[in-house]
Structure 1
Amino acid sequence: MQLTKLLDYLAPGQGGRIVAIHAAEDLRRRLVALGLKPGNEVRIVRRGLFTGPLQVRIGTTDIIIRRRDARQIEIAV
């Protein structure tokens, strides 16, 4: 059994493999277009203050996503 968390709950330096995206279809398509798709490895680089955005690394690419969007992404850690 694998331990899963939502992407929003990982600390900088932590990461894992995307298991699922629990979002509306339009948001899911946007996240997949950014490279956040099931099976990909991601890592949190930096967290914005309070409810600020997250800097996420996918391979060699860094993207910034809203925290509320990160709460839709389930990660196997």
Structure 2
Amino acid sequence: MSVLTDLHIGETATLVALNLPDSVQNYLMHMGFVPNAQVTVLRRAPAGDPTVYGIDGMQIALRRETAEAIRVRTSSDTSQVEIDAELEKIAAKTRSQSARQDQSEIHEFAGVTR
């Protein structure tokens, strides 16, 4: 999972969570920073702070310390989640096949037939 400051200019991500004080969180939520909203990095100040983000048709400048507390999911994060889920499916299938093989070998050793 990434935070808003990890994004490059022009990059878009899906907002996941705001880890901010309630007053700041409520303000940003009223401005469109809600879960599953798409946020795009539009431009940065010459010194790198603040950064202007586009969300729900608006442009909002946020300081680095605020943006660092906003968790987002990028397309690469999504791809990794999909990869991890597929690997878990494969591992579960392998464990299941291995358990059946072990059971079969135990039955064979004990002289049990099916």
TM-score normalised by structure 1 residue count: 0.86
Identity of aligned residues (%): 24
Higher RCO (C-alpha 8 Å, min separation 6):
1
Match status 1:16 vs 2:16: no
Q: For structure 1, which runs of at least 5 residues remain unmatched after alignment?
A: none
Deviation of the 1:51 alpha carbon: 4.5
Aligned length: 74
Q: Name whichever structure is richer in strand by fraction.
A: 1
Q: Name whichever structure is richer in helix by fraction.
A: 2
TM-score normalised by structure 2 residue count: 0.60
Instruction: Tell me which residue corresponds to 2:34.
Output: 37
RMSD of aligned residue pairs (Cα, Å): 1.2
Letter in 2 for 1:18: L
Task: Point out 4+ residue stretches in structure 1 off by more than 3 angstroms.
Answer: none
Q: For structure 2, which runs of at least 5 residues remain unmatched after alignment?
A: 75-114
